[in-house]
Amino acid sequence: MIMKYELIFYANDRGTSPVDDFISSLSEKARAKIMSFMAILEEKGPFLKRPYTDILRNDIRELRIQLSSNEYRVLYFFFLRNKIVFTNGFIKKTDKVPKEEIERAIRRMADYKIRYKRGEIKL
């Protein structure tokens, strides 16, 4: 049986979703391509490899989207058995993923897990 993964956009305790805000700020073409890559990830989960995804640090992974000369990244982590939680997105302008983006994703992952344990996040 093939497992399908559930996509979740991290939201802070005020209900704001940084990933949703990032995707909404992009052109229609960029939004469509990011959503198509997310659909592939939803189907393949951890079996999706480069060039679509890569592992960064501390369970944080990146979804790698290229459109024309722009490189988009959406960071995420796997949660429980079949959840994929997207933490942040950005346009990549350097060779490496900026350290502050990875650290932001790590903080959001920790926040998500703590709020889940407290019962503040319902799945």
Domains of the chain in start order, with CATH, are 6-117 (3.30.2310.20)
Counting beta carbons within 10 angstroms of the beta carbon of residue 38, is it exposed (0 to 12), middle (13 to 18) or buried (19 or more)? buried
Q: What is the pLDDT of residues 10-57, one digit of tens each?
A: 999 899 999 999 999 999 999 999 999 999 999 999 999 999 999 999
pLDDT bin (cut points 50, 70, 90) of residue 121 is confident
Residues with Cβ within 8 Å of 108's Cβ and at least 6 positions away in sequence, in order, are: 10, 12, 18, 87, 88
Whether residue 1 is predicted with pLDDT greater than 60 in this model: the reply is no
84 exposed, middle or buried (CB, 10 Å; 0-12, 13-18, 19+)? buried
Q: pLDDT band at residue 104, thresholds of 50, 70 and 90?
A: very high
pTM: 0.95
Read off the DSSP letter of residue 54: E
**pLDDT confidence tier of residue 2, bands split at 50, 70 and 90:** low
